[in-house]
Amino acid sequence: MSSDNSSDDARQAWDVVVVGAGPAGASAAYAAAVAGRRVLLLEKAELPRYKTCGGGIIGPSRDSLPPGFELPLRDRVQAVTFSLDGKYSRTRRSSHMLFGLINRPEFDQQLVEHAQKAGAELRTGVTVSRVEQHGPAVPDRRTVAIVLQGGETLLARAVVGADGSASRIGAHVGVKVDQVDLGLEAEIPVPDSVAEDWAGRVLIDWGPMPGSYGWVFPKGDTLTVGVISARGEGAATKRYLEDFIARLGLAGFEPSISSGHLTRCRSEDSPLSRGRVLVCGDAAGLLEPWTREGISFALRSGRLAGEWAVRIAEAQDAVDARRQALNYAFAVKAGLGVEMSVGKRMLTVFERRPGMFHAALTGFRPAWKAFTRITRGSTTLAEIVRTHPVAGRVLNAMDR
Ligand SMILES: Cc1cc2nc3c(=O)[nH]c(=O)nc-3n(C[C@H](O)[C@H](O)[C@H](O)COP(=O)(O)OP(=O)(O)OC[C@H]3O[C@@H](n4cnc5c(N)ncnc54)[C@H](O)[C@@H]3O)c2cc1C
């Protein structure tokens, strides 16, 4: 759906313009719209659009959804098969649902509809080329110019950049990353007999390259099969996916979609704002470094960005705008930042000793329990390390 009031848009400044309608952008637009502000959500694709993603919804993602949002679950996971590069396979089961699985086009579209119901306006099929905070396109110091491909310029009191891992708004803000990974995925339609075998169960395979892993996420008649590894090993990552699919006996089924996407994790000193522009989600490099879980990071940082963008929109001068932007950065760092730093340490240990992770999860009950509690959202990795001194000491010892 696209609105057709572009000439009005050009004259009147929006309170908040959000760039990108993934989970981060839809959350930001929702948060700013429920606060009663004039919000415009810009998306370059037509919706629903495909996004390379496993679609795993862990507890923190479920808990960050807007009120009244019904998750379009394709499956409920109650069992996990772990393997170490195809070997030592073991399945662990839980009496509770561990996490849910969704299809991203459906999930993202539904989030956008929620933002629209809250009052946000949507324009699809528009690519933002750049934002300008000074110069002739900016009529007064309290506005930001958003320049679209084709030359049209919109004005806003605050901008939220939620345009994903190749973010243009992130480049404007100066986002710095210290981890870039390549994820490859295939959506594989399978016959009923194969689908039944996977129902309610995922596979996680600790991969052959340091820090890599693969997954099978069942979604009814389709399996999402993917792998992720450090960028720069494209050929080896591709081979890993091919071997993974082959040894699962799935090579005979033609994927309906094969795609790849980069994930990027911010460095600790990376900015989260510049002037009246905030970044969130993948655009800000907010992602769990070990698992590369990003939906909960997008939903949580998106909501915070929307809330603080409202305050920036109200700011009468640069000092006040800066104060609100710093508050946003503080809120992100205090929550997601802490989770990311623990995740980075986990990744370092996992890169060196994947076999130990495998042995712990398959053979050591407290490790499996911790996994189930984290995926269900009753705790976080950071919380476990903070409240269990032994866990912190083990991580410290292995981190060296
Ligand atoms: C292979 C793989 C598997 C993954 N699996 C999981 C998983 O199972 N669970 C999980 O939690 N996370 C997973 N992730 C991470 C997750 O997909 C991302 O962290 C999440 O999509 C981030 O959401 P976002 O809203 O920040 O960005 P995106 O979802 O990328 O949305 C950005 C939006 O901005 C739009 N856009 C981009 N540029 C412009 C522009 N210039 N103008 C206008 N619009 C623009 C794009 O079209 C897009 O719709 C996975 C990632 C990969 C690569």
Query: Quick check: 55 and 74 in contact, CB under 8 A?
Result: yes
Query: Quick check: 128 and 19 in contact, CB under 8 A?
Result: yes
The one-letter code for the residue type at 24 is A
DSSP-assigned letters across all residues of 293-339? --HHHHHHHHHHHHHHHHHHHH--SHHHHHHHHHHHHHHHIIIIIHH
Residue 101 has pLDDT above 80, yes or no: yes
Q: How close is the Cα of 59 to the center of ligand 1, in Å? A: 19
Q: Which of 8-17, 133-142, 192-201, 368-377 has the lowest mean pLDDT?
A: 8-17
Pocket test for ligand 1, best of 172, 261, 292, 296 (most atoms within 8 A of CB): 292
Residue range 26-35, pLDDT digits in tens: 999 999 999 9
Question: What residues does ligand 1 touch, defined as CB less than 6 Å away?
Answer: 19-25, 42-45, 49, 51-56, 61, 127-128, 162-164, 168, 183, 185, 226, 228, 261, 263, 281-283, 287, 292-296, 298
Residue range 142-182, pLDDT digits in tens: 999 999 999 999 999 999 999 999 999 999 999 999 999 99
What pLDDT shows up at residue 11? 58
Query: Quick check: 335 and 370 in contact, CB under 8 A?
Result: no
**Percent share of the chain, pLDDT over 90:** 90
Q: Which is more confidently placed, 4 or 328?
A: 328
Q: How close is the Cα of 116 to the center of ligand 1, in Å? A: 20
Residue 6 has pLDDT above 60, yes or no: no
Query: Quick check: 31 and 6 in contact, CB under 8 A?
Result: no
Structural domains present in the chain: 6-51+104-176+267-341 (3.50.50.60), 72-102+180-265 (3.30.9.10), 351-399 (no CATH)
φ/ψ bin of 110: left (φ > 0), alpha (ψ from -120 to 50), beta (otherwise): alpha
Task: Select from 16, 45, 44, 46 the least CA-distant residue to 115.
Answer: 16
Q: How far is residue 205's CA from residue 377's CA, in Å, rounded to a whole number?
A: 22
What pLDDT shows up at residue 399? 64
DSSP-derived 3-state class of residue 228: strand
DSSP-derived 3-state class of residue 400: coil
Residue range 191-237, pLDDT digits in tens: 999 999 999 999 999 999 999 999 999 999 999 999 999 999 999 99
Residue range 347-358, pLDDT digits in tens: 999 999 999 999
Q: How close is the Cα of 282 to the center of ligand 1, in Å? A: 6
All residues at 6 or more sequence positions from 5 whose CB lies less than 8 Å from its CB, including other chains: none
Pocket test for ligand 1, best of 27, 30, 42, 51 (most atoms within 8 A of CB): 51
Cα distances (angstroms) measured from residue 174 to each of 168, 211, 267, 278 = 10, 27, 11, 11
Cα distances (angstroms) measured from residue 168 to each of 160, 278, 283 = 12, 12, 8
Task: Select from 258, 214, 211 the least CA-distant residue to 230.
Answer: 211
Q: How close is the Cα of 228 to the center of ligand 1, in Å? A: 15
Atom of ligand 1 nearest to the CA of 297: 19
- State the SS3 of 45-90: CCCCCCCCCCCEECHHHHHCCCCCCCCCEEEEECEEEEEECCEEEE
